[in-house]
């Protein structure tokens, strides 16, 4: 997956995190007057149309404004950069990323944890090693990629079994 695509996945993850916010449990969306001053500042461009927005969108925007207000300047800039990269993607690339995100969301928690762990390991590699792995994977046939994924999955399962056994056997 290229950097643009991955950034899109991260943006989708941020959006998904907002979707799971407790704000969604509210029956109705907040009126403009009930937003905090910080939320109103962040959402100022929506002030005139706020009452005409549907409840779901107002809830989503209100939650996003809270999250935005809690971010550091660096975090905000990173979100702006990811959003810009997302906008640069074609509709097809965005659809692929959304599909992959939904596929990931349906995975069992242990599988998600394994993927996150492996991604973190990948990010911690030196840039030359990461690029070499990307190139190698890019040059594989779809069948080879599937075989590699399956071997990695099996290896992870074996390692997990060993860890589980050790935990069980410890006093």
* Pair 40, 47: CB distance under 8 Å: yes
Q: What is the pTM of this model?
A: 0.55
Classify each residue of 41-78 as buried b or exposed e, where b means 16 or more C-beta atoms within 10 Å of its C-beta: ebbeebeeebeeeeeeebbbbbbbbbbbeeeeeeeeee
Across the range 141-153, mean pLDDT stands at: 92
Instruction: To the nearest 10°, report the CA torsion of 77, 133, 124, 154.
Output: 120
Per-residue pLDDT tens over the stretch 55-111: 999 999 999 999 999 999 999 999 999 999 999 999 999 999 999 999 999 999 988
| Phi, psi angles (nearest 5°) of residue 107 | -70, 155
Quote the DSSP letter at residue 29. Answer: P
Q: What six digits make up the tokens of 36?
A: 């905090």
CA angle 9, 148, 155 (to 5 degrees): 95
In the chain, what are the domain boundaries?
A: 1-106
pLDDT, tens digit, for every residue of 11-41? 555 555 555 555 444 458 899 999 999 999 9
What's the pLDDT tens digit per position in 118-127? 899 999 999 9
Contact (Cβ atoms closer than 8 angstroms) between residue 97 and residue 9: yes
Q: What is the CA radius of gyration of the chain?
A: 21
d(CA 106, CA 134): 26
Report the pLDDT value the prediction gives residue 24, as an integer from 0 to 100: 45
């Amino acid at each position: 997956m290229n950097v643009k695509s991955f950034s899109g996945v991260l943006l989708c993850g941020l959006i998904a995190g907002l979707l799971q916010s407790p704000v969604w449990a509210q029956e109705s969306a907040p009126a403009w007057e009930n937003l905090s001053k910080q939320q109103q500042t962040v959402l100022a461009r929506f002030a005139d149309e706020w009452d005409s927005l549907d409840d779901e969108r107002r809830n989503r925007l209100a939650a996003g404004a809270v999250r935005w207000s809690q971010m550091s300047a660096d975090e905000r800039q990173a979100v702006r950069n990811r959003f810009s990269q997302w906008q640069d993607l074609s509709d097809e690339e965005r659809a692929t990323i959304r599909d992959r995100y939904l596929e990931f969301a349906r995975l069992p928690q242990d599988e998600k944890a394994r993927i996150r762990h492996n991604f973190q390991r990948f990010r911690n590699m030196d840039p030359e090693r990461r690029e070499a792995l990307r190139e190698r994977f890019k040059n594989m046939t779809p069948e080879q990629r599937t075989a590699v994924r399956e071997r990695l999955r099996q290896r992870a399962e074996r390692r997990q079994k060993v860890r589980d056994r050790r935990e069980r056997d410890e006093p």
